Amino acid sequence: MFDTPLLELLKLWGELVEAYHGKNGYGARTAELYAYRFCPDDPRRRGSELHTEARKQADKEAAWIARNSLYDLCKLFAAVYDDAILRIDGREPFDWFQHVDAGFNHRVRVKVTRRSRAK
Q: Is the pLDDT of residue 107 over 60?
A: yes
Q: Note the pLDDT of residue 119.
A: 56
**Where do runs of H (alpha helix) occur along 1-119?**
6-20, 53-80, 93-99
Per residue in 43-70, pLDDT tens?
777 776 667 888 888 888 999 999 999 9
d(CA 71, CA 98): 10
Indicate the DSSP class of residue 27.
B
Within 10 A of 48 (CB to CB), how many other CB atoms are there?
A: 5
d(CA 97, CA 71): 7
d(CA 36, CA 56): 15
Mean of the pLDDT values across residues 87-103? 93
Lowest mean pLDDT among 27-31, 38-42, 47-51, 87-91: 47-51
Mean of the pLDDT values across residues 16-20? 98
Q: Is the pLDDT of residue 87 over 80?
A: yes
User: Which residues contact residue 17 at a Cβ distance below 8 angstroms, ignoring those fewer than 6 apart?
Assistant: none
